[in-house]
Structure 1
Amino acid sequence: MFTPEIQWLLMEAEHDEANGIVPSPKWGCIGELYVEERYGVVLSRAYAQGHDGRLGNDLVEIKTLTPNKHRPVVRVKRKGNFSLLAVVRVDANHEFDSLLVRRDRLPMEGEGDWLYIDWTTLRGLAERSE
């Protein structure tokens, strides 16, 4: 079961989206709190540059795939300051799935500032998943 804070944010996200705020800005917080609870990541202060938290000596970037997302793809800054990527996937029934991928396993070659990578590829690269 989720913490009361995650449960409250899930209700708030649903309320936002029922009122036309799609996607709700609450999903990022939900993903961060879930990763904190699930993996023991210590979250950084709000708006820390390049990462969302720490897991031991690793800097962690957290991405959340929301129920309303049409394609299960995350966007990651190629030059971001992180060594571990945590991705949380939430379905329409609020079932959560998550994984951790080391940065050195990500296909960072290519052009542009952003890497777009889908859930299936991430699952193949993951160290741990739920």
Structure 2
Amino acid sequence: MTGFHADPAALDALARRLEETADDFAAASADVESTTTGDLGPPAVAAALTSLTGEWSGRIRAVQTDYAAAADSVRTAAKAYGGSDTSAAEALSRIAAPDDLGLTPTPSSRPVDPGLLGSAVTDESGRVDG
């Protein structure tokens, strides 16, 4: 065991939070863009504000894109880990019978040396031997 553990449900939750954050940045960008509407005063002031809000909006949209991409990557990882777990469980169920996993005790076909186990060994009748 490597000690590594992935929790697909936790990864899905993280992806949802990243998507929500991306949505918040998209809304913020739209809010910044909407400030350039209406009467903004002299043309030079309007042009400066339009330039500034365009730059801010672009930067906010870039962050929104990064969060959306991170959400997609995390969701892909969650699906991969979940798929691996499912595939492994299916493969194990196809190749392993309960006896193979040691879940069903089977009588030993080999004789046991009573001297190795002391008085806890019984014979076929159930009597304690030794």
Q: TM-score, normalised by structure 1?
A: 0.21
Asked which structure has the greater CA Rg, the reply is 2
Q: TM-score, normalised by structure 2?
A: 0.21
The structure whose RCO (Cα within 8 Å, separation 6+) is larger is: 2
Task: Name whichever structure is richer in helix by fraction.
Answer: 2
Task: Name whichever structure is richer in strand by fraction.
Answer: 1
